[in-house]
Amino acid sequence: MYILFKNEGAEKVDMVVSSENELMKRTEKRKAYIYLIMTFILWGSLYVVSKYTLSKIPTFTLSFLRFCIAFVTLTIISGKKKQTKKIEKKDIPYLFLIGVGGYFIAVGAQLLGTKYSNASLASLINSLNPLTMTLFAAIILHEKLTRWKIIGLVIALIGVYIILGGGNIGGFLGIGLSLFSVLLWSVISVFMRKITQKYDAMLITRYGISIAVVCYLPLCICELYTGSSVHFDISCVLAVLYMGSICTGVAYILWNKSLSMMEAGSCSSFYPVQPLVSAFLGILFLHEQAAVTFWIGAIFIIVGIMINLHKKIPHVSNLKENC
């Protein structure tokens, strides 16, 4: 009789613990959704703000200022936070991969791709990130590639294509650079998920951005030395501060934090929100016209994301690889 009561008590304790764990997982997932929505709203606004600032500041000079401000912002935010875990030597290559490969090469290629083709086409190509990231996550991290995940992503990308109206085919160089940026950023994001399983997202973001600043500095000097003009005014300064502190510093923290909480493929399903926000803000602030295709595409994007998120998305999976 004593053993029977003991077993029943143990089962009740297990049920309570299991229920608490499930509640924690749901809470974490909701937080990740909020982080991702905020991330892509900020990145969507970046296109509108950068359209104005690029007319006054050269491309790589703007990137240098943007990442410098982002680094200062993150340093201030993390100033009072104690870092209990130091980066191990074997993980340092991951930091350079993120800083050089992601924040410098991939972001730089994206800017050049937009410059040498056109904004609509570059934005459309950039929206291929969910597909490429999901595929790389399946290959590198062995994340499950479900049928519903693929269907949801394809529907969302159709919505992006409808909004952008297909775009006009730009130069081959611009298309190539944009595709290269998408592929590289997808690979880097998968490794970001891996490294943020081990270290704080703030720490990884700050190190990566500091490396990018060093990489952008020579290109900035070269641009200014060759005679590229810079025109600063109050509105331009405010725009650069917003791009650096909010769209880069805060947004990258949110993105890396999301990658530490959810699968890379699931995080990437929010990517189509970015061009949707860009188009909406362009209508609101730049007085661009909203065609019927904008609203049709918006419906496709929302439906695609809802299909992807409706299915149960597992919490942080146990990675076989050791960082």
Closest CA relative to residue 319, chosen from 149, 129, 137: 137
- Which pLDDT value is given to residue 319? 34
Instruction: Tell me what percent of the residues of the chain surpass a pLDDT of 70.
Output: 76
Domains of the chain by residue range: 50-78+90-146+169-263
Kindly indicate the confidence band of residue 289, based on its pLDDT and cuts at 50, 70 and 90. Answer: low
- Our measurement of the distance from residue 312's CA atom to the centroid of its chain's CA atoms, rounded to an integer in Å, reads 22
- Which pLDDT value is given to residue 130? 72
Q: Which helix (H) or strand (E) holds 280?
A: helix 273-285
Rounded-to-integer distance, Cα 240 and Cα 169, Å: 30
Q: What is the pTM of this model?
A: 0.76
Rounded-to-integer distance, Cα 2 and Cα 13, Å: 17
Rounded-to-integer distance, Cα 165 and Cα 170, Å: 14
Q: Hey, which of 115-124, 165-174, 202-211 has the most confident mean pLDDT? A: 202-211
The tens digit of pLDDT for each residue in 150-173 reads 787 788 778 777 766 655 444 567
